[in-house]
Amino acid sequence: MKVVTFGEIMLRLATPGYLRFAQCTEFSATFGGGEANVAVSLAHFGIPVDFVTRLPENDIAQACLMDLRKYGVNTNNIVRGGDRLGIYFLETGAVSRGSKVIYDRAHSAVSEIKPGMINWDIVFEGANWFHWTGITPAISQGAADVCLEAIQKANEKGIIVSCDLNYRKNLWKYGKKAGEVMSALVAGTDIILGNEEDAQMVFDIQPEGVDIVGGHLHAAAYESVSKQIMTRFPRCKKVITTLRGSVNANHNSWAGVLWDGEKLIESSTYQITHIVDRVGGGDSFMGGLIYGLVTYPNDQQALNFAVAASCLKHTIYGDYNQVSVDEVEKLIAGDASGRVAR
C-alpha cells in the first residue's frame, strides 16, 4: 500500500497560548498544510506515503523537508523552484472568541507551479491511492491545472482518488469560482470528504434541517447532500461528512457520517471539551479514514477510526496528528481516561 498526497505546505507562525496578534512579540514556528497533514497522519499509522509539492531552494524550505522526513514521509518527489515558502499566521481563540488565520502565500513556489513540472508516472509508481484537497486548486490556476493533471493520471492507472472539498473563501482570488474549477477535479474522484459548508459553497448543494449553533447536528440531514453529490459525480463511491458542533472555541462535539450509495453509516459522537489545537482536525480525519478503508473489513470500522483519530488530534499542538494506531483503537474501545501510561 502506498499513498501519494499533493498540495502546499507552509510555515505556520502561531501566537503563544491564547495571545492575540496585537499582544504577540514572538511566534511559535512549525509547518503544516492540508495534504502534508494527511501524509504525516498516515506515516504515524505505518502507511508508506509520499508528499508532493514545489519548494524553493532555501534554508526554510530545507527545514520543512527535514521536518517531514523525521515523521517518515517520503519527500523524494518534491520539485524545487520558485522564491518562497507560503506562510500562515494563527491566533488561537478561546471560549466565545474564535481563532483567526491570516494567509501570506501569494507567489509561493507551489502557487507558481505549471503542468509538466511533476513527472506523475514516476510519482505514481507502486501507488494505490492519491489524495488532494480543495485548497490546492484555490491557490492559483497553475496549481489547479497540476492537480487535474495528477487526477487524470491516477484515473488512467486505476489508482483510488480521494479529496477533501475544504472550501476556503479567502483563497479563491484569481478570478475563478470554486464550483467551476472543482467540478472537473471532483469528477475524477472516488471518495469525497466535506462538511455542510463545503457542499453548499462549492456546489450550491443545500443540506436541510441542520443546526450548527449550540453544538447540535443531525446526521441524517446529510443523506440528501450525499445523494446529490453522487448524482452529480457518478464516479464517486463514498461521501463522508464531518459533523462538528461548536459550543464554543474550546468545546466542540465531533462525529462523522458515511454514505456508500445505499445506506448512511454514523459514528459515535465525541465531546471535546478542552481543545488544544483544532487546526488540522479535518486532515487528521482524512488520514484516519484512508487508513481505516484500507485496513478494516467494513466502512463502519473505518469511520470509527477516522473520528477517533481526529478526536485525539484536537489534543495535540500543531497541524500534525501525532498519534499511533494503538492510541486510536484504545479510544474506540472506550478508554478516554487520559491516565498516565507507565
Q: Is the pLDDT at 158 greater than 70, yes or no?
A: yes
Section 124-150 average pLDDT? 98
CA distance 10 to 32: 5
Q: Is the pLDDT at 337 greater than 90, yes or no?
A: no
pLDDT value, residue 340: 64
Bridge-based pairing of strands 87-91 and 54-55 is unpaired
Residue 277 located in a structural domain: yes
Choice between 314 and 197, residue whose per-residue pLDDT is larger: 314
Q: Which residue range is the domain that position 49 belongs to?
A: 3-332
Section 236-246 average pLDDT? 94
Residue 342 located in a structural domain: no
**How high does pLDDT run on average in the chain?**
94
Q: What percent of the chain has pLDDT over 70?
A: 95
Q: Is the pLDDT at 214 greater than 50, yes or no?
A: no
Which residues, other chains included, contact 110 with Cβ-Cβ below 8 Å and sequence gap of 6+? 7, 8, 53, 54, 55, 82, 86, 136, 139, 143
Residue 337 located in a structural domain: no
Q: Is the pLDDT at 2 greater than 90, yes or no?
A: yes
Section 76-94 average pLDDT? 97
Q: Which helix (H) or strand (E) holds 129?
A: strand 129-133
Residue 86 located in a structural domain: yes
Query: How many domains is the chain built from?
Result: 1
Section 138-150 average pLDDT? 98
Q: Is the pLDDT at 24 greater than 60, yes or no?
A: yes
Residue 339 located in a structural domain: no
Q: Is the pLDDT at 209 greater than 60, yes or no?
A: no
Section 12-16 average pLDDT? 98
Residue 338 located in a structural domain: no
Residue 250 located in a structural domain: yes
pLDDT value, residue 193: 97
Residue 56 located in a structural domain: yes
CATH of the domain at 256: 3.40.1190.20
CA distance 252 to 247: 6
